[in-house]
Chain A
């Protein structure tokens, strides 16, 4: 379909983008890769009054190593993250996840900041950001990931706030993202990320609730020496996923357990 009419402006700096957002008012939206926003606009599920295009902000397109941190600019495309030698070296799990997002077209256009700001329950980066205690940096402040994702499509961002960077810790230990989906280019029905870090495990779940979930009960069980199979049983503790056309709530909970076991096992090189 055809989107409703909207204003359009292309920003040449973060500051200008922020000013444009304030000028256009609450219904204005940032346009990054457009691969979530434009489909919604075409269905008229989103009818922003104005789009502030940030695709010209080249300084938001970067991957930087910063001591024990990895700084990924908001405008960095999935394909860049997927192929970056820095990411592969410092946080290989992120490169793996980027390579599993959508299809080539989506990876060529979609951005780190877009996924984080959009906060789709099935978005893959939010899971990683949450479980690794990443920081979301905006033009106004730094927000810890565990305070960022509020609800379905809802974040701590103010209307004129722009994500500039996501700062992940460096983590090079055993890791795996198991993404259960039906078609090659689909979103996760359920996804589970496992990362060995500082002697313990970090486990994150995608699409089992309105926001990403950190499976602390699994992490603790593993810490206490439980076998992956046993620990994974806790993956569905406290989960209350909504059912959809692809999966019923009980099936999602089942998948959370099965995939958690698989993620840990595969991270450690077992089948």
Chain B
């Protein structure tokens, strides 16, 4: 019998029957007796002074229970919105942020008033009756202009618009490389601003119990414990008085990590009004207010030799912070640290500048910094290849970090734990039929057709993270992970994890893991998460492809502790020495005599009885924390094949090949699903999606799903997926994260394919989204 039956098996997702048939539990499925609804009045201006707010009509409107403005929250909420001091910068300006504006609004959508009413409709009607007198101020929209001295400021009276300006490594680090260079290639690369668009928008239901002084918050969050930490602090409550329940979460993509103004205001309203209060974000509110992703540009230079050897890389990141610093906004500067990609460089110079604008804040969005890094380095490598007339496959092969180099200390001192980049490339090239594609391309070119083949050989750092690296970055709390395993008297098992699923299928994967290790049926494992009153004292949530590589390992450790105790007890029951007891297939037996055995269930039952060994306490449960020694480093090669319509400029994806390596695989179907979704999301960025604001007024132009173009299934090409397996040496499971891989890899593959297609026209670089209009303008030689 195989040791491992469940790990590695394509088990159908346990959560799917419930979710697919509409039996999931999302925030709008919850209500409380006597709940009031809140509608927020939001600034229509990107930047304005609030002269006065007239609430007279709204207060008298039918069903309205109360109208609240900034003043009302003064004694209720303390402090400013948290911003993690990641990458402590040479200059740092974090504008103060109260959850509701009092004197000045700094982005369109910022909250200025809240209307509480008996029904949703009455709240919305009431909100419409509030009259706010604004004095418009100039909106800062353009990053370059924002950096100029003497121009308008995002926050009236501020010294400048720079949130941070940090040089990781100065230009001197690459001087030698650039001196030695035969060719130097320069490019400015844009990263379009994206809206996260989770299928379930945000929502908060809060009930403050006046007499018990207890607060329960139901909300759609990727990190309920952090919400408890922040909200309790702001409300002057102990963490123990607050319970945050985040049930099924309909997608997050990073936008449900950080606390939002509503996360404070709704609980505060419940305490003020002494009744439960509910708020469900509308789609337009979501596109307008959920933190955006990307929104950057990069100035990049590469030095190389004529034989294709890469020498030096210079990167400056210009990041649109928005009007306030997102909690993990500065994390996106990791794009600089990852800019070298899968290659060896003599030197990399990197600087990041975080620039405030009158837009909604940006914060991590699936991949957060790593898609940007991949996009820029993969683009630059292709530009060098084009300059040298080299095949994109060859230039990559030539410069890869080699298998024998691992663990590899890269230019910024990060230690890449493992990799075999060429192996994944080889599999992808074969799967794509690369040589045939090149022949086909040549034939089609003769017919005036533009077929392009684009590569992206990506690497990623994920699995946050080691305490030494993460505690300073968050301001004290190490992003390790916890788990608790409880065995009931009848031998059923409840596993609590501090991570939280917003679509990743943890209930399935983690149950597979625990069931295998315990040797009990998969069905005996119940996986719980998302409720701060259950399980361990603190959980760290899900983001940065960390759940399995950190949380899964914590589960495995806790299971190990349960087995250890079980062994002691079994030895006692079997009258054998503990060292002689082995645990296999759900049964404890004496080494060499499989008949002398106690089943897991028997031991569990006995653990609650009276015949325990000397000094042993009742019960069979354990808590474990896992502090990973390093990050994990997945990688792979993606290949996109695109045809650009010669007349319309429309880019059509013909096929897509992805070969990824996330170490050992627990559930191949879930891994593939994560990759499919990630690729689709990156195709969105490459071809369709962009949050557009009016450059003068700061008005959002893409506030509905008609204008903010998320691709549908119809736009996603057939995908061929394969894997190589290079187990991670960083954790006992040998696993690496895969939740963001598709998003990290795919935009570069798609854009490289388009540039490859259009290279006969002399087009070298295309910015995202590569819309037909943009490509048509470029193809006829007028820029766009």
| A contacts, CB < 8 Å to B | 1-2, 4-5, 43-44, 180, 182-185, 187, 245-248, 251, 254-255, 258
B715 touches A184 (CB 8 A): yes
Alpha-carbon gap, A185 to B128, bound state (A): 32
Question: Are B648 and A258 in contact, with the CB atoms below 8 A?
Answer: yes
Number of interface residues of B (CB under 8 A): 29
- Report B-chain residues with C-beta under 8 Å of the C-beta of A258: 647-648
A43 and B128 CA atoms in complex are apart in Å by 12
Q: Which of B124, B712, B772, B773 contacts A185 (CB 8 A)?
A: B712
Asked if B120 CB lies within 8 Å of chain A CBs, one says yes
Cα-based distance from A255 to B688 in the complex (angstroms): 19
| Residues in A neighbouring B715, C-beta threshold 8 A | 182-184
Contact check, A254 vs B771: say whether CB atoms are below 8 A apart: no
Determine the distance from Cα of A1 to Cα of B124 in the docked complex, in whole angstroms: 8
Nearest CB of B to A245, in Å: 6
Contacts of A248 in B (CB 8 A): 773, 777, 784
| A185 and B702 alpha carbons, distance in the complex (Å) | 17
Given contacts A245-B702, A251-B773, A251-B777, contact A183 B648 (CB under 8 A): no
Residue of A nearest to B692 (CB): A245
- Are B648 and A43 interface neighbours, CB within 8 A? no
Are A255 and B648 in contact (CB-based, < 8 A)?
Answer: yes
Known: A1-B124, A183-B711, A184-B712. 10 other contacts (CB 8 A): A2-B120, A182-B709, A182-B772, A183-B712, A183-B714, A184-B713, A184-B714, A247-B772, A251-B777, A258-B647
With A255-B648, A258-B647 in contact, do A185 and B714 touch (Cβ < 8 Å)? yes
* Distance between Cα atoms of A246 and B284 in the complex (Å): 19
Smallest Cβ distance from A231 to chain B, in angstroms? Answer: 16
Any A CB within 8 A of the CB of B496? no
Query: Which residue of the partner chain, among A2, A245, A247, contacts B707 with CB atoms under 8 Å?
Result: A245
B490 to chain A: which residues have CB within 8 Å? none
Q: Give the distance to chain B from A51, nearest Cβ to Cβ, in Å.
A: 15
Give bound CA distance, A248 to B776, whole Å: 11
Bound: A60/B124 CA distance, A: 36
Give the residues in chain B near A254, CB-CB below 8 Å. 776
A182 close to B773 (CB less than 8 A): no
Minimal beta-carbon separation of B519 from chain A (angstroms): 48
Pairs A-B, 10 closest by C-beta atoms: A184-B714, A251-B773, A2-B124, A2-B121, A258-B647, A1-B282, A247-B773, A183-B712, A2-B120, A245-B707
- B71 at interface by CB-CB < 8 Å: no
For the complex, give the distance between the alpha carbons of A187 and B284 in Å.
20
B750-777 interface (Cβ within 8 A of A): 771-773, 776-777
| Known contacts A245-B707, A258-B648, A183 near B688 by CB under 8 Å | yes
Smallest CB gap from B780: residue in A: A254
Known: A43-B704, A182-B688, A183-B712. A246 touches B773 (CB 8 A): yes
The answer for the CA separation of A43 and B282 in the assembled complex, in Å, is 10
Beta-carbon nearest neighbor of A262 in chain B: B647
CA distance A5 to B688 in the complex (A): 36
Residues of A within 8 A of B711 (CB): 183
B602 within 8 A of A: no
CB of B526 closer than 8 Å to a CB of A? no
CA distance A19 to B702 in the complex (A): 39
Cα A185 to Cα B715 with chains together (Å): 10
Q: A4: which B residues are within 8 A, CB to CB?
A: 125, 128
Does any Cβ of A come within 8 Å of B145's Cβ? no
Q: Which A residue's beta carbon lies closest to that of B648?
A: A258
Bound-complex Cα distance A248 to B649 (A) = 13
